[in-house]
Structure 1
Amino acid sequence: MSDLLQEAAMKTVLITGANRGLGLEAAHQLGEKGFHVFAGVRNPEAGRRAEALLRGAGIAADFVELDMRAPETIEAAADTIWHSAGQLDVLINNAAVHYDTHQRVGAPDFAIVEEALAVNTVGAWRMAVAALPLLRRSEAPRIVNVSSESGAWSSMTGTTPAYSLSKLGLNGLTRMMASEFRRDGILVNAVCPGWTATDMGGGGRPVPEGARGIVWAATLPDDGPTGGFFRDGKPIDW
């Protein structure tokens, strides 16, 4: 682990799916704000590349192996952070799979549906539970669930069924966690980054713009909102 982590004032953030796109950009932006970044990445080679990129930019960062489909890696990641930092200030559940625009709800591939739910919803849930003891040790704990308007009741259709259902579940989980974790002072919010030019999104606005809303939710003041759904720091419909 980096010697920078020994600085008592340095806040810590765990970002899942941090090797590219929004996850990597959020890591850059939070690192520039003085956070030590734990980059959760499934593939070790990709994780080490992300770690090197961040460190090359002057950011305190460490790769942790993290596969949202594998509970043992979730527990191991939390244990690694416990032993190296002793607490966690921010958890960003960013990892996601299967933006299945080729599917319709009446003719799904259920293997894709099950994997999307396992990663995008249940994986985020497992990660939050594993991180809870770490977050409780922070003076300003935050959980950011990176969601999508595809998971909003107000815009639900029969398209992208695996992704949309998984994000609908993540939105519901956000509300549940916000209610349950309020007693611990943990602010929990869902963020839609908008249509963004990531590998999954395939177009849209620049990644740094989409990531700014995630960073906003990660750095809310103590009197900030909890249990909300936001884009660019502004509430949007569930």
Structure 2
Amino acid sequence: MAKSDRLFRLLHLIRGLTPPVTAARLASAMEVSERTIYRDIESLRLAGARIEGEAGLGYTMIEDPALPPQTFTQIEIEALSLGLSDVSQRGDADLAQAAKDALTKILATLPERQQRQAVHAVNLVHRFGTPPTPTIDMTLLREAMWAEEALDIGYKDQSGRSTQRRIWPLAMSYHDRSVMLLAWCCLRSDFRMFHVTRIDGYAISEESFRPRRVPLLREYIATLKARKLPRMPAHH
């Protein structure tokens, strides 16, 4: 294994394993000697990586914005390009623009060779259809989720009947032909999914459900998996 590839893998292991990570554990995972691990850690430190610790105690990665951009492998660059390209096609206007901006920023940090790899990626995205354009402001909807603020919404079911309800927005789920809002419905006292194109106006309430979004979302997903549904149905 080339030294550059070995350093990338070592950096990934130190980042991913529970700290502090001993040289013995790293050597076993890398299939090299502990002496090689010590030398490679010094090389990473000289390259700008902030790694705390020493032999016998273990090592901990300290996040650093100055970390060398070369830590992306070619397949990781492909994954980033593919994922962000898909978002730029499927997302609403703000999300699509954010994906394009993020890819531009990532490319700007890469060496010239890796920039060419990203621009000429071997994996391409083309979708013949995209979800219908939402009639509500998706950015404000995301902000309500980030802030964990309850929403009062109007919603039309498949038959056109309208209801008013308060929900705790948990996440957005992007399907092939629709975008669904996963939420806790206070009216039904249960989890529900709502087509975002059927939400007929909404207002942010003064009710906060912090810090319940993450555990509720985890519970909702576990419930769906337990039902072994082939796909997540819309709320009617």
Larger Rg: 2
Q: Which has the higher contact order (CA 8 A, sep 6+)?
A: 1
Which TM bucket (shorter chain)? under 0.3
Return the structure number with greater strand share.
Answer: 2
TM-score (norm 2): 0.25
TM-score (norm 1): 0.25
